[in-house]
Structure 1
Amino acid sequence: MTDIINIILLGIVEGVTEFLPVSSTGHLILATKLLGYDAEKWAVFNIVIQLGAILAIVVLYWRTFWAVGLGLLKRDPVSIRFVRNVLVAFVPAAVIGLAIHKQIEALLGNAEVVSIALIVGGFAIIAVERFAPKSDIVGVAEIPLGKVVGIGFLQCLAMVPGVSRSGATILGALALGVERRTAAEFSFFLAIPTMLGATTLELVKNRDALMSGVGVGFGAIALGFVVAFVVAVIVVRGFIGIVTRFGFVPFAWYRIVAGSAALIWLFTL
């Protein structure tokens, strides 16, 4: 019964935070620490359930993907640029992630790093919102290739837990002159190849443990997947509305408060 509650809680945390600029990995690390979970036991689970959140994007934006797919068959320039931009932005994370995979793993259990990254990221959001150039690029397919490459490299900052993959890509896009809604949606679409790659790597690396039932099994992962999917569908719908009306500053203050509270708590342990 306790494990089921843990699974549901972690699924909710993943679904709520995956696409917000607050770091889903960082929140899962803090949740693991706060609730006294065995971090090693839940490490693969925390990564794989991200696919549930990714599926939410596929479902919510199925019309976009359908239109792009049909456009590719017709060699439509807009559809080709859409796919090109997503794939080009994905490449830096794929290459750098594979190159420093062990160093990244060493940080995944460090709650102090997460707390500091949350605070620093919060101030970064406020700075970008205040000083970013006027946003005049609307539509994922309309982002120039040079800016796409820049966003791809900025996404790599999220390899430090607590930085936030969505936060790094959204802030990068805003700083490069991309309109808010387009920046958020590009981050959503870029998450698909990025998280599929990361999850596949973890599944391959931990296939023996998963098959033998060591750690968290497939049943638990399936439940966490479903919870993350349902919650992410709800959150993404609301996120776009908040961003359009209020920008990203509310998330910045949340990061600063949450990171500060986490640091205080960690130092009192």
Structure 2
Amino acid sequence: MTDLWIAFVMGIVEGLAEFLPISSTGHLILVGHLLGFEGERAKTFEIVIQLGAILAITVLYRNRLVSLFNIKPILQREKKFNALHILMGILPFGTVGVLFHDAIKTYLFRPETVVIGLLAGAALMLVAEKKKPIPTTHSLDEMTYRQALLIGCFQCFAAWPGFSRAGSTISGGLLSKVSYKATAEFSFLVALPVMVGVTGLDLFKSREHLDVADIPMFLVGFGTSFVVALLAVVTFLKWLERLGLTPFAYYRIVLAVLFTVFVLL
């Protein structure tokens, strides 16, 4: 398979999986393993295409993101979604990332650990669906700082590849009495600073693996990821309110079992 086709396939995987509760990192590792696209060059490519998914959320939620720069709601204690909600949502994961970033990259980015993350994340999602209380928060502007912090704590599970940032945060939101739509949108927004920080750090550390000859491949992956992520987010919000997390949890279990039986064993 040529580099451009690999870029196209991996871009689709990233765009579909980044903001769905199925783990983009896990899927990229598994698909990369199947395609024989591994090593430092592959890791650098994965970092670049994540930027495409980040750009998709920036475009879709540009008005909400711009509003975060308005500190008036914070100063006047208005009941309105603001930058403090985002801060509460990223503090726990940011702390874990700073403390354990190198260890996570060194020891957990393997197909075997991804399978564990897929199964553990699926279990969390099924528990959240079964135990979720009746939501009291139906929009971002109704979300409390406490709820934002609790969801941020759940996001820490996503440090384990395969667990899924979306799956962890949406599960935390449901258990914190936040509606599907509001918790999904918060998951998208809180992912942005986390992804920008982690991706920026990874890209800086991988700079020696960047090569001018790889630009066409990186552009194909980036563009594909951006377009697919745009479509995936809009579609996912419609599915989530109708179907919940359960179908995604079962998909993760089936994927983990099939990959283990046919590839790892």
Same fold (TM over 0.5): yes
Q: Tell me if the contact between 1:72 and 1:80 (Cα under 8 Å) persists in the aligned partners.
A: no
> For the residues of structure 1 that align with 2:214 and 2:201, how far apart are their CA atoms?
17
Corresponding residue for 2:26? Answer: 26
Shift of 1:180: 0.7
Task: State the aligned residue count.
Answer: 264
Q: Tell me if the contact between 2:71 and 2:82 (Cα under 8 Å) persists in the aligned partners.
A: no
Identical-pair percentage: 38
Q: Tell me if the contact between 1:32 and 1:39 (Cα under 8 Å) persists in the aligned partners.
A: no
1:75-114 alignment, distance < 5 Å: 77-78=77-78, 81-114=81-114
Shift of 1:134: 1.2
Other structure's SS at 1:20 match = coil
Shift of 1:206: 1.8
Q: 2:239 aligns with which of 238, 242, 246?
A: 242
Corresponding residue for 1:173? Answer: 173
Matched, 1:256 2:253: yes
> For the residues of structure 1 that align with 2:100 and 2:121, how far apart are their CA atoms?
22
Shift of 1:129: 0.5
Any stretches of 5+ residues in structure 1 without a counterpart?
none
Q: 1:220 aligns with which of 214, 217, 227?
A: 217
> Larger deviation: 140-149 or 21-30?
140-149
Shift of 1:138: 2.0
> Larger deviation: 200-209 or 25-34?
200-209
For the aligned residues, what is the CA RMSD? 2.1
Corresponding residue for 2:184? Answer: 184
Q: Tell me if the contact between 1:113 and 1:161 (Cα under 8 Å) persists in the aligned partners.
A: yes
* 1:37–1:31 distance in 2 versus 1, CA, 3 Å: same
Q: Tell me if the contact between 2:41 and 2:209 (Cα under 8 Å) persists in the aligned partners.
A: no
Shift of 1:202: 1.1
Question: 1:221-269, CA deviations, whole angstroms, 9 ceiling, x for partnerless residues?
Answer: 232111100000111111000011111111111111111111112333x
Other structure's SS at 2:199 match = helix
Partner amino acid, structure 1, of 2:242: R
1:184-203 alignment, distance < 5 Å: 184-203=184-203
The TM-score normalised by the length of structure 1 is 0.91
Any stretches of 5+ residues in structure 2 without a counterpart?
none
The TM-score normalised by the length of structure 2 is 0.92
Question: 1:136-179, CA deviations, whole angstroms, 9 ceiling, x for partnerless residues?
Answer: 11222332222222221211111111000111111111111111
* 1:78–1:63 distance in 2 versus 1, CA, 3 Å: farther
Corresponding residue for 2:35? Answer: 35
Other structure's SS at 2:193 match = helix
Corresponding residue for 1:63? Answer: 63
1:140-151 alignment, distance < 5 Å: 140-151=140-151
